[in-house]
Structure 1
Amino acid sequence: MTGSIYEDIFKKLVKSGYRGNMPEEIEKIRQEGDQFTDDYLLYASGGGEPDRVVFKIKDCNNACGDDEKDCQASCLFNAIVRDMEGNVVIQQNNCAGCGKCVEVCRDFSLVDKKEFIPLIELLKDRSVPVFAIVAPAFIGQFGPGATPGKMRTAFKRLGFYGMVEVALFADMLTLKEALEFDRHVTKHDDFLLTSCCCPIWVSMVKRVFKDLVPHISPSVSPMVACGRGIKHLHPGSKVVFVGPCIAKKAEAKEPDIKDAVDAVLTFREVEQIFEAVGIKPAELEEDVSEHSSRAGRIYARTAGVSRAVEDTLNRISPGRDLKIRAKQADGLQECRKLLKEVLEGNIDANFLEGMGCAGGCVGGPKALIAPGLGRELVDSYGDEALSQTPVDNKYVMELLKQLGVEDIYEFLDNEKAGMFIRKF
């Protein structure tokens, strides 16, 4: 059993789910499989413990050796240990569900749960509107011809009611974080840790650098904001997040925010779904619907959040004496190093951004193109936006009005805006 065979099982389940002959296909897979097939079938079809993301299929006997890229070394939270025979043991109490161990496992002993199969009947009968919300990193991931408008058509072909760019709600959070900075950073030694985007960064602060928790900006991630926003506008709907990150599967299950998103798919899984049902996004017609500003679109790469918040702060408070002095951490080790420096008082920044993947979300483990190209395409897409900041984005202003916010400076204190607030 190899990783490619595991993906092949997932594609066969998708194809049979749309055809309506999944029980027969499962029996065929079992007959052709080995002793691990039932476990792969279970997790490929969305089974297993509901609040877990990462599962061990088989013992690996330390096949990776002791290099720095094995699963134990990749885990920042001491969730991976080995028994006396060298086999991997996942300590669930420590596991943050970040998926780094899955990313580096060369023996394919560790897998992340697929969450698409239970959605197929819902998408086929269309009794409930199901929205696909796509991470800002999506641009260019499915080929140079797969424009945002064509991707929207592709998701509708799968049965989704529509596709929404999470970048629109990244705009909302950009405005919120700029206002938070304006309110709370008033002295030279004040600072904020942005809580947007990266669940690995947030988990590291909460689990390892707990003394810094009071400095986290009280914002949900753009994924959560988008899910809650859609459900507010379309009561009874379901929301599926699509992005490059395994860790988002764990974030979506956290008790205080699990109301926002019903399932998470990675770019790699969506690529496999398209292949299974014969959808080629680049060959489809355009369904154009642009709502996000440059600020929200550049969230997908390292320093994007900082730039977005800085530009927005300069827009709403151009005469402010104390400007943003931003510093970014790019990748796991830099995140750890930056937070340690903050604890030791060895940093002069007042806005700190951490990305668990090198390059930002464009460098996520399930991205389909190289991080450098991803960043380039994200920046180009940002440059094409009709507005530069959320303050200039008429769609953001319309959403705020639907929440009862007539003046942007009321955003932080508006009761309905509580959907964008998270208590750490």
Structure 2
Amino acid sequence: MPESKYEEIFKKLVKSAYRGDMDNEMAKIRDGDSITDQYLLYAAGGGDPNTVVFKIRDCSGHCDAGDDNCEAACLFGAIVRDMEGNVVITPNNCTGCGRCVEVCKHYSLVDKKEFVPLIKLLKDRKVPVFAIIAPAFIGQFGPAVTPGKMRAALKRLGFYGMVEVALFADMLTLKEALEFDRHVTREEDFMLTSMCCPIWVSMVKRVYKDLVPHISPSVSPMVACGRGIKHLHPGAKVVFIGPCIAKKAEAKEPDIRDAVDAVLTFRELEQIFEAVGINPSEMDDDESEHSSSAGRIYARTGGVSRAISETLNKLRPERKIKIQAIHADGVQDCRRMLKDVLAGYIKGNFLEGMGCNGGCVGGPKVIIDPVEGRQYVENYSKEAGSLTPVDNKYVLELLQRLGIHDMHDFLDSSKAAMFIRDFGEDSSR
């Protein structure tokens, strides 16, 4: 798809920052237009450090009620109109999910790019900077780009290493299975998973608050991965790479902002590679992967449910109450399911919600078609050396290094603190 002026400016800044003459490049780009100045500010990572979405121009207020209407698209009522019909973002309601940026065809709203401030660290190599990449990455950068080639390409950018978040999804699969075992003891009990999708979690916390007691007290795989790396490598920086804007907001939530220092989307990474002339498909393979099939299928709708169900069956084959999963695919489906739960119309005991149709493979910043992305994920899951984390010796060894010496330590809040969130209060405020 054609790039916007904002994206073109971002690529120019990346290229010049690696050359070491970004100030000169910015002077060339400035054209006296206030919009260009704002593009430069946010493409360079400026602006309020706790804000993801910025309005860079007033609108005419004549958007249709359809696909390009940011007000209608906002899930949390954060966008209103002033007396002239211009967009106003109300900070207290905005979660930074990026839905408005996705639908705006007039480039009046942008999400901040977080990569440029990292380039000096990547070039100096004095501080180890790790890239952690979402399970949906497989196939996004071309059929020839293996995980090893992607790792080599990221190292060429200056990253110390790359870790697949699927490895930590494995760990949290164990935790979620144990949480289900603890909390669902009667036929009428149920649990909402807190894994993966920040839009789903925000919907529960902000709109369907009565269901908060049923949400599992787990961090997302992104947060677990970031914290795990920093535990093993004190002083390291962590950059998450994934398919959506909403992860930029999740990384800034007060109770978990220690985990990840910056977030890139797949499209941003593609633009970075283009700007500096790196072709991942031409790289040599660098190391192998150790995640199980369970962690890899988190990238698609239903994957979390399947992973946790298969893991629970391994842990507790004699359990009478099995996981009966229902999953919501896309925002409207999530709303419908949560309303049904509140109304008492629920037939399952494990609820999984994905804000994007198809799951993460259908995220707004993916590069390939979601159907194709799902197929890559399925194929990659079949290549795994283990079906569940219970069978994965690498997961069990890594858990030991993180202080989890027995699987049931996941239920001990002191031993498993890095994997736990408290949803009793709105931690995003």
TM range (shorter): over 0.9
Aligned to 2:29: 29
Map of 1:1-400 to 2, 5 A cutoff?
4-31=4-31, 34-67=33-66, 69-400=68-399
Answer whether contact 2:185 2:321 (CA < 8 A) is retained: yes
3-state SS in 1 of match to 2:416:
helix
Q: Please give the per-residue CA displacement for 1:395-417, whole angstroms capped at 9, x wherever unaligned.
A: 11102212333332233226332
3-state SS in 2 of match to 1:177:
helix
The amino acid across from 1:23 in the alignment is: D
Q: Which runs of 5+ in 2 are unaligned?
A: 424-429
Aligned to 1:407: 406
Q: Please give the per-residue CA displacement for 1:221-256, whole angstroms capped at 9, x wherever unaligned.
A: 000000000000111100000000100000000000
Question: TM-score, with normalisation over the residues of structure 1?
Answer: 0.98
Give the C-alpha shift of residue 63 in structure 1: 4.4
Q: Please give the per-residue CA displacement for 1:115-141, whole angstroms capped at 9, x wherever unaligned.
A: 000000000000000000000000000
Answer whether contact 2:273 2:279 (CA < 8 A) is retained: yes
Q: Please give the per-residue CA displacement for 1:50-96, whole angstroms capped at 9, x wherever unaligned.
A: 11000001012124323254111110100011122221111111001
Give the C-alpha shift of residue 3 in structure 1: 5.7
The amino acid across from 1:197 in the alignment is: C
**C-alpha distance in 1, partners of 2:405/2:18?**
46
**C-alpha distance in 2, partners of 1:66/1:371?**
26
Answer whether contact 2:231 2:402 (CA < 8 A) is retained: no
Give the C-alpha shift of residue 206 in structure 1: 0.3
More displaced, 73-82 or 396-405? 396-405
Answer whether contact 1:64 1:106 (CA < 8 A) is retained: no
The amino acid across from 2:362 in the alignment is: G
3-state SS in 1 of match to 2:93:
coil
**C-alpha distance in 1, partners of 2:127/2:302?**
38
3-state SS in 2 of match to 1:382:
helix
Question: TM-score, with normalisation over the residues of structure 2?
Answer: 0.97
**C-alpha distance in 2, partners of 1:51/1:407?**
37
4+ residue runs over 2 A deviation:
62-69, 403-407
**C-alpha distance in 2, partners of 1:62/1:178?**
48
3-state SS in 2 of match to 1:259:
coil
- The percent of aligned pairs where both chains have the same amino acid is 74
**C-alpha distance in 2, partners of 1:404/1:353?**
28
**C-alpha distance in 1, partners of 2:372/2:397?**
33
**C-alpha distance in 1, partners of 2:154/2:270?**
11
CA, structure 1 residues 349+150, in 2 after alignment: closer, same or farther (shift >3 Å)?
same
**C-alpha distance in 1, partners of 2:53/2:153?**
29
